Amino acid sequence: MNEVKTPKKPLIFYYGIAMVVLLLLNMLVMPLITQHQVEEVDYGTFIKMTENKEIGQVEIEDNQILFTNKDKSKIYKTGLLNDDGLVQRLYDSGAEFSGEIVEQMSPLMSFIVSWVLPVVLFVVLGQLLSRQLMKKMGGPNAMKFDMGKSSAKVYVQSSDGIKFADVAGEDEAKENLSEVVDYLHNPNKYKEIGASMPKGILLVGPPGTGKTMLAKAVAGEANVPFFSMSGSEFVEMFVGMGASKVRDLFRQAKEKAPCIVFIDEIDAIGKKRDNQLSTNDEREQTLNQLLTEMDGFEGNNGVIILAATNRPESLALTRPGRFDRRVPVELPDLAGREAILRVHAKKIKVAPDVDLAKIARMASGASGAELANIVNEAALRAVRDGRASATQADLEESIEVVIAGYQKKNSILTTREKLIVSYHEIGHALVAAKQTNSAPVQKITIIPRTSGALGYTMQVEDGDHYLMSREEIENKIATFTGGRAAEEVVFHSVTTGASNDIEQATKLARAMITRYGMSDNFDMVALETVTNQYLGGDASLACSAETQAEIDRQVVDLVKKQHAKAVRILQENRPKLDELAKFLYEKETITGEEFMEILNQ
């Protein structure tokens, strides 16, 4: 059922306003009208008022004469007789013949017009508004019958036509899910040996990795109906409606079995119960009904439930009998990124010399959705520049757009600021290049970006690395401090440009001590817990106040040590620092090859 917004004010409120307006009109206007009531007099009185020149305005009709007194405050009416000298006497009395004298309606008609008709109009208007609201809510019986209906979208026989071939970069997940497809095609093969397919399969991974697309691909490969619904759609304002939706969803699924039911963002209803002894809220009842459908006495033969979440630690459904299988859908590796880029590159025109492997290396850590966005941004850039196809430069620039934002072409740095930014970025690159186990420099620029960065240095690994040694992390911290170190060496001053570098260096140093066990004092003791790992991670210390103070001291010492190392490297290579900074200042953007060529001269 679609969400219906409640009116800001109840309908009776507007009826009340209408009645108040009517009362005011009758109190203020009706007295003025009653002053113009028509008084009927005989013809003799009319003749007498004519002779006394007491008539102000007169109107002679076919069967009557309407006239007013001298100040026109009253209206009189008399019958019309055969009087030859009438017109002359009226002229002699000074009466006016111009204009029309409007006769006041009868009291009954006045009551109908001023009271009955407005009330009828407002009642009709109120009924029309009520019917419009009812239509938006799904009809007059929506409150009674439709609120418990499931609003799941049904894609019969995979109308989207998505197959496993359309989903790249998730080979392990596809291998796990291919067994589900085989079961839906050949259930007897599994029943003969006594095996049964898991009741529920939970797709777990960061946002944008293709969990929903994988679920549709399973339905497409199995060629069975596919029910799709978000977890938040089960949560209703009225207690019990969400549970009713769950029952209705599974009833429809059993009618169309074999089929697949996909619940996206299941953490909206499947969170763990809190410690309260008894709860009766809507979310709790919805969860109970879902657990009953999945783990009750009645089997759901032919109905396979797929669910997606990026908060698996908060779910109450992750145990055998409910979601028996957990399929990780992680960020793609280098080969996966290249495969995803090739899938999306087929949708646009690309130049024949485009190296997607290089683009995949530059887009390290990107999800499938971000890679699709990169390809689309490259196509948009090609259109803006008037090219018929996307080039390598378009794809590389689109990566920078996704990472750092668009170029701020109207942002003009002063000469000194531009020089400081040049030394800052070369400081990062030079410290990285003079250390072992550091990623090669790919690009250096001092063109400001919409993200707020005045420049950046891009390093690209040759391949994916899943482990980092203590020395590699320390080298990364030293590289982060290289920009501030260059400012100190050259200008003997510091600026605000290193704010993000300071944050990243501190984050790495703290993780070394609290999470990675790289501290001599604490050894292999976990001092920090991390939740919501797929959403960036929320870290919280699990130690005493004295230990926290010691952690802070070690973090400061570690960052200071690497900062001093960066200063030492730049001082030892001061001529190259000046030469490279001058070159970057003039060109604004240089490649990693140009940087290394000058450094190695």
Active site residues: 425
Give the H or E element holding residue 487. Answer: helix 470-491
Residues 6+ apart with CB under 8 A from 241: 147, 148, 282
| Dist CA 181 CA 176 (whole Å) | 10
Give burial (CB, 10 Å; 0-12/13-18/19+) of 10: exposed
Residue 428: exposure state from Cβ atoms within 10 A (0-12, 13-18, ≥19)? buried
- Cα–Cα distances (Å) from 387 to 115, 353, 378, in that order, read 72, 15, 11
Query: How far apart are the C-alpha atoms of 550 and 502, rounded to whole Å?
Result: 20
Q: What is the sign of the dihedral through the CA atoms of 515, 521, 522 and 523?
A: positive
Length of the chain: 601
- Cα 165 from Cα 176, distance rounded (Å): 15
Which two tokens mark 548?
């926290």
Closest CA to 305 of 177, 187, 157: 177
In angstroms, the CA 48 to CA 55 distance is 10
| Contacts of 102 by beta carbon, 8 Å cutoff, 6+ apart | none
- 46 CB-side CA count, 13 A: 27
For residue 424, how many other CB atoms are within 10 A of its CB?
27
Give which of 315, 305, 205 is closest to 270, Cα–Cα.
315
Strands 589-591, 441-445: pairing kind: antiparallel
